[in-house]
Amino acid sequence: MPRIPLISPESDLSPVQRRVVDGILGKRGGRIPGPYRFGLHCPEMTEVWHPLGEMLRLKSNFSPRLSEFAIVITARAWDCGYVFNAHADAAVKGGIAQSVIDAMVKGERPALTQDDEKAMYDYCTELFEHHAVSDQSHARARELFGIPGVVELTALIGYYSMVAMTILAHEMPLQEGARPLLPKRP
């Protein structure tokens, strides 16, 4: 049970909430994703939050394989099953191996075979675990993704950290049929 009410399009909305909801519904095929249902308690914030997420996820310079992989890495770093489950299938559809997702669910480091996936995983996990990125990992990511790419990658995982924190703080229930994340293994 969430700690605060989930706002839906059918809720009794203020004029500002209605404007924001209508804007999201127009871009999201008639649905409001989970974190925005909490964010709508602060509609002006959500009005800015939503376009940033759209740009980072849907207009990314990264392929869907890599952008969705960055999102599931972030979700796993935060142990946020809701976000992980919301993006794991898209990562697989984009080209991430199912075995990678399965290992991450188990809290294990996945066996990665592609250089860009290894670079992204190391860059992101180092930043989450050590609050820094090693010179080696930063240089490898910069070589593969360019300077704009590492800036965008950092913004993408920062954005999805905000999403994960929103979901976790307000206790969004897992989607029906979703797999819970297992504890991480050392």
| pLDDT digit string, tens, across residues 98-141 | 999 999 999 999 999 999 999 999 999 999 999 999 999 999 99
- Calculate the average pLDDT of the chain: 93
The per-residue pLDDT for range 31-57, each reduced to its tens digit, is 788 899 999 999 999 999 999 998 998
**CA angle, residues 7, 39, 53, in degrees to nearest 5:** 120
Q: Where are the domains of the chain?
A: 15-58, 64-169
Question: Residues 8-14: what's their mean pLDDT?
Answer: 88
Closest to 121 measured CA to CA, from 81, 88, 76: 76
Taking the C-alpha atoms of residue 4 and residue 37, their distance in angstroms, rounded to an integer, is 10
- Cα→Cα distances 60→54, 111, 153, Å: 9, 25, 9
Under the banding of pLDDT at 50, 70 and 90, the label for residue 186 is low
CATH superfamily of 64-169: AhpD-like (1.20.1290.10)
Question: Residues 20-26: what's their mean pLDDT?
Answer: 87
3 state DSSP class of 8: coil
State percent of the chain over pLDDT 70. Answer: 99
